[in-house]
Amino acid sequence: MTKLSSTQIAWRAAQDIADGAYVNLGIGFPEMVAKFQPPGRQAIFHTENGILGFGEAPAAGAEDWDLINAGKKAVTLKPGTAFFHHADSFAMVRGGHLDVAILGAYQVAQNGDLANWSTGPKGVPAVGGAMDLVHGAKRVAVITEHVTKDGKPKLLDACTLPLTGVGCVTRVYTSLAVVDIQDGHFVLREKLPQISLDELQSLTGATLHLDGAVADLIVPEL
């Protein structure tokens, strides 16, 4: 089945970030979103270890390993970049000063519950700062594959893994669709034109509701 690549999912999520927004990107896959800011827009990126307004990754071999984000990736400095204590960084998060947090997920429930860590042998060993981000940011979005590697839905009636946050997610960007969470339901906004609504529903673990026309999910070749 045709689906979006991780890069294309990240591109689509980036299109909804407003100019000047304060944004935290989760470790790993969500960090890719920073590469695809639309022309004429510039987000201000925050990282939990205490940097605000950092720039792109440096060229290979030019890294300064004293300058890293929360995922231990090297970053560059921009004019106005600010450094602060780890505790002050989380005060920003908990104080509601972030406009957007974009995270990965193992599972998302139709009421907005998020599970993005696991106690299993291959799981993320602790919930970490995500539990603060999901309730401190003004908007929480998720980027993820629509199904697991063995074909099981990741969008569910209810999460079965330990929760990161309750009722916190408002939009999910998947490899097949863009889905909003509204009034305790999944509301389908966009889907790949190659997949029918019935096919998409069969890969989703809860009912997809419609609220007007469903747009085609169109992204560039990346």
Task: List, by residue number, the catalytic residues.
Answer: 48
Provide the 3-class DSSP secondary structure of residue 126.
Answer: coil
Given a contact cutoff of 8 angstroms between Cβ atoms, the answer to whether 123 and 117 are in contact is yes
Beta strands of the chain (E only): which ranges? 22-25, 44-47, 51-52, 82-83, 100-103, 107-109, 114-115, 139-144, 155-156, 171-174, 177-182, 185-191, 208-216
- What is the torsional sign of CA 98, 104, 107, 108? positive
- 180, β-bridge pairs: 171, 187
Cα–Cα distance, 9 to 209 (Å, whole number)? 21
Given a contact cutoff of 8 angstroms between Cβ atoms, the answer to whether 106 and 153 are in contact is no
Alpha helices by DSSP H, listed for the chain, are 6-14, 86-94, 130-136, 197-202
How distant, in Å, are the alpha carbons of 104, 139, 140, 181, 195 from that of 207? Answer: 21, 23, 21, 12, 16
